[in-house]
Structure 1
């Protein structure tokens, strides 16, 4: 394979959850008729088989099992999927992540996932306050998170991410720091610390809870950032904090506008080749996907969309990327950034030497991105 051929990340979606949380806008479906593990796994294998030429031509650098709740599925299903992808439990392995919820850890032990080659765990803690977890509609309690984390360590996971949300309904800055402090005490290699947003088509959007005032939110973000930095975590993306050498390879690939293939109900992909850059999307309803796993919607990205999507990802990185990366990833000349880029530089929001925001621009990132629409 030539050095110019992009590497490939793999995203595999598992669409079922025990319960749909009121803030969740992901493609997740409550378990109603039981987990259809075998037919869904067979659909995934057929889907992957349809992309065998792509998979054979690229070096896979990461695999991410997301959801939904992937940990509802047995280790054997993941073994089959990894084998179909050509990722075996022998020799050097890419980063292989599974998302798990503390409330479903009893379904299958972490040892089983580790034994099939999964080497990174992302645990959906969200909060260490039982009151806050109940408001979020979570099915687990704080003690279950502590036990799940300990069990994962015993199982051999030495690369663990904790998801923590701040700006929760009626949350105070002190409660935010308490949550974050308890997460740090556990010593995960990675913390995804992100603000609660009321996404369209969610229960929280239809019936908004009482959220903290803007000044409280700013206090939470500032104090939390200082706490993470003092604990040795480095912010490498808007919501991502990692210990040295533990950045998520899979997520970095997204933000650097790398290629990735998506398999499973509602999974998205982005593939580039000599013909251009295109997005792919599978059917979001599990039943439709299982009936026709090969069906996908393919969208070619024009220059305007390419420009925006590249910036949407690259500017989430505090250090951004060199200007030359725009051309490498999209084939576009940096002239397509004008006049908006020079205007952003003049306003003190964008840097002149690379595709990156200033510290001020990072705070107002949403507004910066809007200027390129």
Structure 2
């Protein structure tokens, strides 16, 4: 492979032609999974860590080497000598089922019709995502995971791994994630979905071949989401009550506070890389997440897991407050799981699990040292 940015490629796909039985009861397939590998597997493939991404994430956790032109979403967390050390472990991350970054989702072509799935895509859950990841690991010949690591929706996947495949998982690291969504979080998600479905260009999900796309709706959904990822303190520090440079707020409604400009920028940025229908399906998967639902309760679900667990809360998280992580830890302790709880004092809100590498590092290093 030529070490130039123009020809650089470390992105792989795995195609599974057999139908999956989804949690909704439907058969679905074929499924293509996009994934990336960081670091090297040892000979017996026992040094593998699975990283699971958040809502609008993808498989590109970090740069593979200096020739990789694209920065990853956990660039300061994963790499040689970093807290998730690629010189010791092999890290795998795949785009989730229902996504739009290479794995089969609503924007994929249905081979039976030759058209994009759109809203004909079936309802999916966090469990379905995990089962697809398991099929990928089977394909790669990985039968043991040192750990499953994730924040937010990724943390939900880590929890689901622990209860669905407890014999395979040595440990889990769950950051800023609950055992199920509270009504307030579901409400936030519904407002975001309404922003998309009320966009006149959404067209009941059938917009892929149209000139106009539901960009305004997806942008607005992202703006709402970004508010839940911040905190009052972080917004005050970043923006205060300052107007955007050169804007006189008494002159025109088109002039903006800095915080308004930031939200508009984040909305437009997501539109460039994400599919509106995927946003609908993935937020619904979040809503449906309930650890232990198919086990008859959380105690029945957790009792089979014999590995270690690290649960990390972010002090200023308004989306999944620390009380939810503490409740999860109590559930684990009640079921004799070897669990640690750590709380990061951070002004960054929910996004702290993506930002606070310096505060996370000693916690992660200490946890891995015990594995």
- More strand as a share of residues: 1
TM-score by length of 2: 0.30
TM-score by length of 1: 0.30
